[in-house]
Amino acid sequence: HKPLYKDANFPTDAEGRTYHLGTREGEVAPRILSVGSVARAQLLSSLLDPPAPGKQHFQRISSRGFLTITGRFEGAPVSIVSTHMGMPNMDFVVRENRAVVRGQIAIVRLGTCGAVQRPAKLGDLLVASHGSIAVRRDPDYWSMLEMDEHQPSALTANGSGSSNGHAANGHAAAVAQPNLCFVEGPSAPAGRRPYAVSLPVRSDPGLASILVEEAAAVVGPGRVVQGLNASADSFYSSQGRTGSLFDDGNEGLLGGLAAQHPDLVSLEMETFQLLDLARCSRGSIRATGMCVALAERYSNDFLEYSKLEALEIAGGTAALRALKRVPLVGPSAEELSEAA
Ligand code: R1P
Ligand code: URA
C-alpha cells in the first residue's frame, strides 16, 4: 500500500515519516554516523552494543534505499544512516534527520576519498578539520562555447569568434562570473570558467579534534591526516579525472586546486553539503567528516579492496567514539512541551 503524504513544503506521511528516509521521531538518535553505502552501514552496525535478548536494533530501509540503524554504542544511543552518493543525497540525510530529532544533533560522515597530495596516502584516515570547499562543473561554460560557435560576434567583445570552440578571446560581460578557473593556457577561452570552486566552510572544531584523537588512538597518529576537504559534484569531471570521451576542460583542475589550497588532502562528494547545512542550522547541528583514502590521485594508485573493510571498521570505531563523546545541548523546554 502506498503512504499518503501531506504538506508539499516538507512532506511526511500519516505516521510522521519523512519522504525520502522514511523515519519519524523516536527512531533516530541525536548522534548520527553517515556512511556512503548500505553495506558500510550494515558492517558498522556490528560495532553497536548487542541488543537486549530477543530484541533487534531498530532498522528501516526507505523506499528510496536509505537504511537507518539505531542502537547503542558503549551505552550511548546512536544511528547509522546510509547516505548514498553526492550532495543532494547528503541534503536529504541532514534535513530529514534534523526534522525527526529534538535538541542539538551531531553528524559525522565516514566516507572514502581520493588523497590529493602528500602527506595523505593510501589507506590513511583523512579528517576534514580545516573544513571543505565545493567544486562544481559549470555547464554554462560549454553553453557559451556553443553559442559562440553559432553567433560568434554576439558574445565576443572584439567580434572574433572561435572556430574550434576553445580559441576565442576577449569575451564580454556575459561570461564575467565570480568563480575560479583552473584551465590555463592556450585552450582556455578568456573569462570562461568550467569549474566553480566555493570558499571553505568550516568543520565543528571541537568535534573534529575529538575525532582526530579517536582516529589516532585506533590506527596510530601517523595514519591520520588533518586538512581541507573538497566535495565535487562528479566522481569524474570535477575531480579532475580525464578521458577522451567527454570534453571536460579539467586538465588543470587537480593541480590548480592543490596549488590554491596547500592544505587540501581529500576529494570526495558529500562533506561540503554536510558542513554547509550544519553552518546554516542555527547552531542545531555539529558536524565533521573523515574519509579512508581509497585512491592516490598523485600516484594513480588505488587501494586493494580486500583492505577496505578493516579500514572502515577502524574509521567507524573512531567516529562512533567521537559521537559518543561530543557534548550536545538537549531539547529546549519549549520543544519538550510541544512533544507532550
Ligand atoms: C564515489 O565512489 C563515492 O565514494 C565516496 C564519494 O564521496 C562518493 O560518495 O564516498 P563514500 O564511500 O562514502 O560513498
Ligand atoms: N571517492 C571519490 O569521490 N573520489 C575518489 O577518488 C575515491 C573515492
pLDDT digits (tens, 9 = 90+) for 140-187: 999 888 887 776 554 444 333 333 333 333 333 333 334 454 444 444
Closest CA to ligand 2's atom 6: 114
Q: Which of 161, 193, 225 is the last residue of a domain?
A: 193
Q: Do 202 and 81 share a structural domain?
A: yes
Q: Do 161 and 94 share a structural domain?
A: no
ipTM: 0.99
- pLDDT above 70 (res 4): yes
Q: Do 144 and 21 share a structural domain?
A: no
Tell me the C-alpha distance between 311 and 121, whole Å.
Answer: 13
The ligand 1 site (C-beta within 6 Å) comprises 36-37, 85, 111-112, 235, 268-270
Q: What is the mean pLDDT of residues 211-222?
A: 98
Tell me the C-alpha distance between 103 and 101, whole Å.
Answer: 7
Q: Do 14 and 108 share a structural domain?
A: yes
We report the CATH number of the domain holding residue 325 as: 3.40.50.1580
User: C-alpha dihedral over 178, 182, 184, 189, to 10 degrees?
Assistant: -50
Tell me the C-alpha distance between 329 and 228, whole Å.
Answer: 27
Q: Do 106 and 17 share a structural domain?
A: yes
**Summary mean pLDDT of the chain:** 90
Domains in the chain, number: 2
- pLDDT above 90 (res 338): no
Q: Do 106 and 233 share a structural domain?
A: yes
Q: Do 183 and 115 share a structural domain?
A: no
- pLDDT above 50 (res 201): yes
Domain that holds residue 69: 5-135+198-339
Q: Do 322 and 308 share a structural domain?
A: yes
Q: Do 155 and 24 share a structural domain?
A: no
Unique residue bearing C-alpha cell 570552486? 197
Q: Do 120 and 10 share a structural domain?
A: yes
Question: Among 269, 273, 274, 305, which residue has the most ligand 1 atoms within 8 Å of its CB, making it the best to mutate?
Answer: 269
pLDDT attached to residue 178: 40
CA–centroid distance, 269 to ligand 2, in Å, is: 7
Q: Do 207 and 275 share a structural domain?
A: yes
The ligand 2 site (C-beta within 6 Å) comprises 112-114, 235, 239, 267-269, 294-295
Task: Write the pLDDT tens digit of every residue in 226-267.
Answer: 999 999 999 999 999 999 999 999 999 999 999 999 999 999
